[in-house]
């Protein structure tokens, strides 16, 4: 273990800067989240109230959601109210208990809210008094969710003229789907089977060149998938003399694993057999690949090493060669340290260590004004060209990072595999995770499992391009996956191939509601266009191949729905540069305030609160403070609406709990001006499977 006690003051000073940088106890107590705008002009108050049903003999209580961006005192008045209710002009609250004689539909009720300068009317609402026998019987029907299948596609990076190439999508998630395929930018010399998705052909010398922008679309009765775009290159057939590449290493180090696989030029069609002379003691030799490997335990010189390759009687020789085993000199280790989240901590430092191992970072908690601020700090350690590791300081006074040099494998990969787990987006090692490496040229699959600290090492595999995928059931769900991109590509070259790979969770746009208000009753089609690799997970009415609906001017759809509902996965990039800090103990009013900035009103705000207030008030999500980060909805999807609306506004948010108030730049929002056929949409982004 390496204890870096000198880091104590350094980290404490960084944390003190955060603690004192405008968020100390006095400032946070004076934080007024209602004073958002810097404008000096009076802003009119906002009010939202919903229609209600009440039964004879039952108590009615309705309190409107009203707020004023300037913090002005508000008064209330009511029009067209039934005689049996009581109205509170200081809060706008309606209460009362109807009798038999009060059975009626009381429509056209309006509540007016006023500050010292302006007054605003609510949308007209109704209070419907019903007989007890008219109470609805609600039957909950579990909706079957059809999950989409997934696909993998292995594509060779290069093909030689005269070689046959076959590219076929592999279906994941079951064989019970009626899938058909389409292709775009198919090379002319290839054939495509729409039933299986197989793309095949044998290029000639006339077909040499690059083939780019090819992609397939897979369709089943409920979903359409755009598979990733791919490309490959057709090369001229190799000609020339059969020979070794002369690249045998001259030295290695004591106790370091040595591996060498000879490379051949212009390999003939005949099978190749390898042999060796004067193999170093304790080393192994592979007659199929010519690979030499071993771990020398002492210094020395191995001479006259000869590798022979025989292809149908055509024999070539590499050598004689010498291999010097030396003691690796002690070298100091430079590690770059930084803190996350970057919007709280502006800290970067390079430290020099005498040895690797466990780096203990000590923090002087006594110097912190608010020790609870340790929660959520992410510490990043990077050794350039070798590894990038992370750890979290979670309500404790120290943190540990295990620093380990990745071995240099001659014909394989050394990797550190990380997962962005969500706590301040701090990537952590993925231990004991099943993965597959798929060799692009041969489609051969190598199954591996990550070890401790997310390390993965695999040697003695063919050179070339690989698709490397997480296949562990903890991260991969049938019909989809919880990772934004479960696969990545890497090239196995001769020599060092060390890398760090971060996997991020897939996000889902949850409960986006689309409200449509045509000027007259209209037949409307709505298509949600998602980027490739994403899909709609739920919808109401059923989305199918798009919505075809009848909409009335009040926004009601097919006489049964108040909005179009859907949920969809997304791999979009998120922004955390600006947002609103809100009080987590008054979410209903805070959400209404933010939606009011955009120009949402009435049932649009009520629906948002009915869905999201319970979610973020739950034990799992409850917090005294939240930050709302607005996102660009067009990055998530495109709405194709016919006829085209005159006014379109889309709001997409991330709602993030925080331990304490933070300073954050507030976004500039232009309130919606509704003209003609108006369409508005709200939605919230969460990690896939959050709800």
User: 303-346: per-residue pLDDT in tens?
Assistant: 999 999 888 778 888 888 999 888 765 556 777 777 766 655 66
> Six-digit token pair at 187?
């090379």
**Of 363 and 276, which is predicted with more confidence?**
276
Q: Which of 618, 613, 628 is nearest to 658 (CA)?
A: 628
412 beta partners: none
Residue 627: which residues within 8 A CB-CB, separation 6 or more? 579, 580, 581, 582, 655, 656, 658, 662, 664
Other CB atoms closer than 10 Å to residue 179's CB: what's the count? 19
To the question of domain 255-326 being in CATH 1.10.10.10, the answer is no
Query: Sign of torsion, CA 472 474 479 480?
Result: negative
Average pLDDT (403-432) is 72
404 band by pLDDT with thresholds 50, 70 and 90 = low
Q: Inform me whether the pLDDT recorded for 523 exceeds 80.
A: yes
Indicate the range of 139-148, 195-204, 385-394, 613-622 predicted with least confidence: 139-148
| N-to-C CA span, the chain | 41
d(CA 662, CA 21): 9
pLDDT in tens, 463-503: 888 999 888 877 765 444 567 677 888 888 766 567 788 77
Top-level class of domain 150-235: mainly beta
Beta bridge partners of 236: none
Q: From residue 479, give the alpha-carbon distance in Å to each of 167, 187, 234, 313, 573.
A: 22, 30, 34, 52, 23
DSSP labels, 595-637 = HHHHT--THHHHHHHHHHHHHHHSTTT--SEEEEEEE-HHHH-
Classified as helix, coil or strand, 273 is strand
The overall average pLDDT reported for the chain is 77
The Cβ-side half-sphere exposure at 446, using a 13 Å CA radius, reads: 19
What number of CA atoms fall less than 13 Å from residue 168's CA on the CB side? 10
Residue with tokens 């004023």: 68
Q: How high is the pLDDT of residue 223?
A: 57
Residue 538 has pLDDT above 80, yes or no: yes
Residue 395 has pLDDT above 60, yes or no: no
Nearest in space to 196 (alpha carbons), one of 158, 222, 228, 170 = 170
pLDDT at 15: 33
Residue 472 has what pLDDT? 82
Dump pLDDT digits (tens) for 434-456. Answer: 889 999 888 888 988 888 778 88
Average pLDDT of the segment spanning 391-403? 60
136-180 per-position pLDDT tens digit: 443 333 333 344 445 667 777 777 777 788 888 876 554 455 677
- Give the pLDDT score at 262: 86
- Percent with pLDDT over 90 in the chain: 21
CATH of domain 406-505: 2.60.40.10
Q: Which range scores top for mean pLDDT: 36-40, 431-435, 452-456?
A: 431-435
Q: Which CATH class is domain 46-134?
A: mainly beta
At 607, phi and psi to the nearest 5? -60, -40
Whole-angstrom distance, CA of residue 492 vs CA of residue 497: 7
pLDDT of 97 reads: 92
pLDDT of residue 684: 92
According to DSSP, residue 117 is labeled S
| Whether the predicted pLDDT of 645 surpasses 90 | yes
pLDDT at position 136, please? 41
672 near 386, Cβ under 8 Å? no
Q: Could you tell me where in the chain the CATH 2.60.40.10 domains are found?
A: 46-134, 150-235, 255-326, 406-505
Q: Is residue 369 pLDDT above 60, yes or no? A: no
Q: What is the mean pLDDT of residues 107-129?
A: 88
pLDDT at residue 258, rounded to an integer: 83
Residue-wise pLDDT tens digits, 545-554 = 899 999 999 9
What's the mean pLDDT in 214-225?
68
> Can you tell me the mean pLDDT for 403-418?
74
* pLDDT, mean of residues 119-126: 86
pLDDT tens, position by position, 457-470: 888 888 888 999 88
pLDDT score of 509 more than 90? no
């Amino acid at each position: 273990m390496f204890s870096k006690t000198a880091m104590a003051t350094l980290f404490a000073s960084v944390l003190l800067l955060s603690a004192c940088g405008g968020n100390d106890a006095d400032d946070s107590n004076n934080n007024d989240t209602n004073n958002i705008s810097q404008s000096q002009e009076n802003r009119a108050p906002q009010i939202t109230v919903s229609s209600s049903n009440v039964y004879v003999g039952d108590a009615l209580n309705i309190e409107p959601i009203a707020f004023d961006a300037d913090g002005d005192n508000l008064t209330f008045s009511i029009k067209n109210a039934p005689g049996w209710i009581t109205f509170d002009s200081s809060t706008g609250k309606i209460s009362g208990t109807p009798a038999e004689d009060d059975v009626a539909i009381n429509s056209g009720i309006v509540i007016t809210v006023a500050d010292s300068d302006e007054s605003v009317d609510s949308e007209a609402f109704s209070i419907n008094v019903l007989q007890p026998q008219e109470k609805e019987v609600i039957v909950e029907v579990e909706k079957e969710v059809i999950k989409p299948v997934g696909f993998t596609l292995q594509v060779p990076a290069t093909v030689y003229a005269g070689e046959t190439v076959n590219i076929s999508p592999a279906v994941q998630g079951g064989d019970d789907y009626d899938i058909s395929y389409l292709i775009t930018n198919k090379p002319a010399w290839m054939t495509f089977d729409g039933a299986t998705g197989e793309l095949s052909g044998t290029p000639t010398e006339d077909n040499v060149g690059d083939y780019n922008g090819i992609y397939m679309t897979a369709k089943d009765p409920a979903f359409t998938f755009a598979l990733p775009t791919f490309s490959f290159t057709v090369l001229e057939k190799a000609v020339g003399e059969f020979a070794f590449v002369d690249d045998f290493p001259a030295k290695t180090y004591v106790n370091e694993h040595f591996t060498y696989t000879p490379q051949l030029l212009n390999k003939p069609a005949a099978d190749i057999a390898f042999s060796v002379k004067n193999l170093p003691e304790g080393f192994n030799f592979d007659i199929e690949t010519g690979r030499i490997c071993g771990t020398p335990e002492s210094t020395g010189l191995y001479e006259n090493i000869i590798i022979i390759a025989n292809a149908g009687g055509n024999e070539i020789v590499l050598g004689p060669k010498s291999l010097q085993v030396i003691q690796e000199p002690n070298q100091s280790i430079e590690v770059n340290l930084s803190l996350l989240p970057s919007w709280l901590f502006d800290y970067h430092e390079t430290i020099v260590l005498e040895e690797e191992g466990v780096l203990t970072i000590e923090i002087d908690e006594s110097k912190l004004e608010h020790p609870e601020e340790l929660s959520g700090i992410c510490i990043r350690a990077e050794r350039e060209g070798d590894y990038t590791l992370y750890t979290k300081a979670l309500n404790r006074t120290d943190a540990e990072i295990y620093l380990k040099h990745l071995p240099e494998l001659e014909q394989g990969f050394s990797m550190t595999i990380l997962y962005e787990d969500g706590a301040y987006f701090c990537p952590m090692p993925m231990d004991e995770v099943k993965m597959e490496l798929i060799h692009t040229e041969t489609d051969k699959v190598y199954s591996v499992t990550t070890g401790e600290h997310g390390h993965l090492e695999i040697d003695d595999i063919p050179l070339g391009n690989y698709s490397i995928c997480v296949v562990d059931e903890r991260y991969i769900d049938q019909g989809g996956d919880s990772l934004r991109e479960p696969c990545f590509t890497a090239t196995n070259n001769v020599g060092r191939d060390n890398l760090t790979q971060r996997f991020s969770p897939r996000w889902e746009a949850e409960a986006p509601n689309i409200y449509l208000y045509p000027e007259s009753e209209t037949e409307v089609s709505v298509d949600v266009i998602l980027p490739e690799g994403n899909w709609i997970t739920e919808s109401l009415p059923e989305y199918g191949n798009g919505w075809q609906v009848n909409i009335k001017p009040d926004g009601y759809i097919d006489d049964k729905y108040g909005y179009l509902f859907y949920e969809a996965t997304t791999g979009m990039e998120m922004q955390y540069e600006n947002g609103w800090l809100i009080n987590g103990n008054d979410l209903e009013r805070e959400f209404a305030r933010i939606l009011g900035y955009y120009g949402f009103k009435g049932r649009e705000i009520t629906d948002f609160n009915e869905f999201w207030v319970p979610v973020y008030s739950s034990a799992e999500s409850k917090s005294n403070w939240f930050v709302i980060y607005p996102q660009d909805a067009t990055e998530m999807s495109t709405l194709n609406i016919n006829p085209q609306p005159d006014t379109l506004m889309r709001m997409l948010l991330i709602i993030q709990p925080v331990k304490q108030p933070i300073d954050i730049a507030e976004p500039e929002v232009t309130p919606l001006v509704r003209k003609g056929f108006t369409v508005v949409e709200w939605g919230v982004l969460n990690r896939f499977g959050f709800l």
